[in-house]
C-alpha cells in the first residue's frame, strides 16, 4: 500500500518504513511501552505510553535523521550536512552524523537552552548560534548549505525523515497489537505522518489522532483550506511542536491518514507534564506531553486500548521549574488570596493557625499596613498557599471565612 506525497518524491510506502527499521537496528532503541493506571481509569480502557523520551538523544528525532543521512551518496556525505533546530532535531542530526562519520554543522537560536547546545556539541556537531527566532536560524542554515554545498537536513519534510519516524508506528503495533487508537503530537507532521503510514497500512481500523498546541495549531486551518496554511504567529511552551506551517510532504499524508487533529491549551500541557512526572515517573517535555494533555482534556473521546506517544524528554531545567509551577496552578495545587485582619499583636499568628488546621502550606506572605484604602486598625495580607487540589482550595477559603476573615482572590 502506498500513500501520496507532494513534489518530486515517489509515494511513501510501508516498505520504506520497514527498510528504515532495518537500517536503524542497533542504532535507535526499541523504546518501552508503559501502562498508566491513572489515564486508563479516566479513559475507561487501557492506556499505554510509548516512551520515546527514553530514546537516544532524548527524542524520536534520531530515527529520521539517521535514515536521511545514511541515504546520502558518498559525494553528499563528503560535503557534510547542516541543520537548524532549537533542540531535538539538532541532537538527532549531530549523533546520526557522528555514527555515520559525516561532518555536521547545526545552527541554533541565540537563546537556545545551554544544556541542549552543550549536548549537540558533545554529539559531535559544530554549533553556530545565529538568529533570535527559529525562522532566522533556518534561513542561516539554508544560506550555509547554498554557500558550502552541505546537505540541508530538514526536520520533517523529507521521505527518509518520515520513514524513519514511522518506525515508531511499527513498534507500537508489535508491542501493543490490540491498540485501537494512537495519539501523537504534531508540529510539522513528520512523526504523525510516519506513524500513520505504518499503522494504516497494517491496521486501517486503528484511529490515529494528532495533537497540536492551540498557540501553534497550523493543521486545523490547513486541513480546512485543503493546503498548507502558514500562521501569522506561534506561541507555545511546547518547542517541539512549535511550527507555523505544515510540511508540503507531511500535509497530504496527515490529510489522508490522520483521522483527527485536536488542540490543547498551555494549562493542559503543563498539567499533563506534571502528571507524567508524578504518576508515570517520566520526565517529558511539553511537546511530548501533548498526547497526555489531549487524553486529560476529553478522556471519553478515545477508544481503547490507547497508545500515547511521549515523543521527547529534553526540557531545560529552568523551563521545567516554570512549567511545573504553571502545572501546579492549573491543577489547583496553588491558592493565592488576600484578606484583611485587625492590626494587633497576635492577629497574624491566629490567621496562620487557621491555615495550619486547614492543612495549607504557606509558600509566601506579604503583610501590608500602609495602603491608603486600609482602615486605621486594619492590615492586609496577601498569601500564596500550596494545597491538595481544587476541593482543598475551597475548604481553605471556607475555613478562613468561618474564622471571620474577609477573603478576596
What's the predicted TM-score (pTM) here? 0.84
Is residue 2 annotated as a catalytic residue, yes or no? no
Which residue among 36, 59, 104, 311 is the active-site one?
311
Is residue 224 annotated as a catalytic residue, yes or no? no
Which residue among 36, 40, 50, 61 is the active-site one?
61
What is the chain's pLDDT, residue by residue, as a tens digit (409 residues)? Answer: 656 666 666 678 899 999 999 999 999 999 999 999 999 999 999 999 999 999 999 999 999 999 999 999 999 999 999 999 878 999 999 999 999 999 999 999 887 878 889 999 999 999 999 987 677 888 899 999 999 999 999 999 999 999 999 999 999 999 999 999 999 999 999 999 999 999 999 999 999 999 999 999 999 999 999 999 999 988 888 888 888 899 999 999 999 999 999 999 998 998 899 899 888 999 999 999 999 999 999 999 999 999 999 999 998 788 788 877 777 777 777 888 888 777 678 877 888 888 888 888 888 888 766 666 655 667 777 888 888 888 888 888 888 888 888 787 6
> Are the C-beta atoms of 223 and 245 separated by less than 8 Å?
no
| Cell representation of residue 22 | 532495518
Amino acid at each position: 500500500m502506498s500513500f501520496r506525497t507532494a513534489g518530486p518524491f515517489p509515494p511513501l510506502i510501508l516498505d520504506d518504513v520497514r527498510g528504515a527499521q532495518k537500517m536503524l537496528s542497533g542504532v535507535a532503541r526499541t523504546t518501552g511501552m508503559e501502562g498508566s493506571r491513572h489515564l486508563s481509569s479516566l479513559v475507561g480502557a487501557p492506556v499505554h505510553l510509548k516512551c520515546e523520551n527514553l530514546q537516544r538523544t532524548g527524542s524520536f528525532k534520531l530515527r529520521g535523521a539517521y535514515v536521511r543521512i545514511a541515504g546520502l551518496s558518498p559525494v553528499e556525505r563528503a560535503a557534510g550536512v547542516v541543520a537548524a533546530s532549537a533542540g531535538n532535531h539538532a541532537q538527532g542530526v549531530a549523533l546520526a552524523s557522528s555514527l555515520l562519520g559525516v561532518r555536521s554543522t547545526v545552527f541554533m537560536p541565540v537563546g537556545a537552552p545551554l544544556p541542549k547546545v552543550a549536548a549537540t556539541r558533545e554529539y559531535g556537531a559544530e554549533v553556530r548560534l545565529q538568529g533570535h527566532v527559529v525562522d532566522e536560524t533556518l534561513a542561516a542554515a539554508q544560506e550555509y548549505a547554498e554557500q558550502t554545498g552541505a546537505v540541508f537536513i530538514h526536520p520533517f519534510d523529507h521521505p527518509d525523515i518520515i520513514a524513519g519516524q514511522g518506525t515508531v508506528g511499527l513498534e507500537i503495533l508489535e508491542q501493543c497489537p490490540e491498540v485501537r487508537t494512537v495519539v501523537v503530537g504534531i508540529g510539522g507532521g513528520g512523526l504523525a505522518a510516519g506513524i500513520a503510514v505504518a499503522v494504516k497500512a497494517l491496521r486501517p481500523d486503528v484511529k490515529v489522532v494528532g495533537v497540536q498546541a492551540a498557540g501553534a495549531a497550523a493543521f486545523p486551518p490547513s486541513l480546512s483550506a485543503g493546503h498548507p496554511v502558514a500562521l501569522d504567529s506561534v506561541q507555545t511552551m511546547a518547542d517541539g511542536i512549535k511550527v507555523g506551517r505544515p510540511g508540503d510532504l507531511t500535509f497530504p499524508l496527515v490529510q489522508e491518514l490522520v483521522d483527527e487533529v485536536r488542540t490543547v491549551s498551555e494549562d493542559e500541557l503543563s498539567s499533563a507534564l506534571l502528571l507524567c512526572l508524578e504518576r508515570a515517573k517520566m520526565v517529558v517535555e511539553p511537546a511530548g506531553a501533548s498526547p497526555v494533555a489531549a487524553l486529560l482534556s476529553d478522556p471519553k473521546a478515545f477508544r481503547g486500548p490507547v497508545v500515547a506517544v511521549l515523543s521527547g524528554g529534553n526540557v531545560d531545567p529552568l523551563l521545567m521549574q516554570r512549567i511545573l509551577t504553571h502545572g501546579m496552578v492549573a491543577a489547583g495545587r496553588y491558592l493565592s488570596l488576600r484578606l484583611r485582619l485587625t492590626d494587633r499583636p497576635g492577629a497574624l499568628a491566629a490567621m496562620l493557625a487557621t491555615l495550619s488546621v486547614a492543612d495549607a502550606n504557606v509558600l509566601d506572605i506579604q503583610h501590608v499596613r500602609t495602603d491608603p484604602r486600609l482602615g486605621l486598625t486594619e492590615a492586609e495580607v496577601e498569601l500564596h498557599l500550596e494545597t491538595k487540589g481544587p476541593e482543598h482550595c475551597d475548604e481553605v477559603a471556607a475555613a478562613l471565612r468561618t474564622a471571620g476573615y474577609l477573603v478576596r482572590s
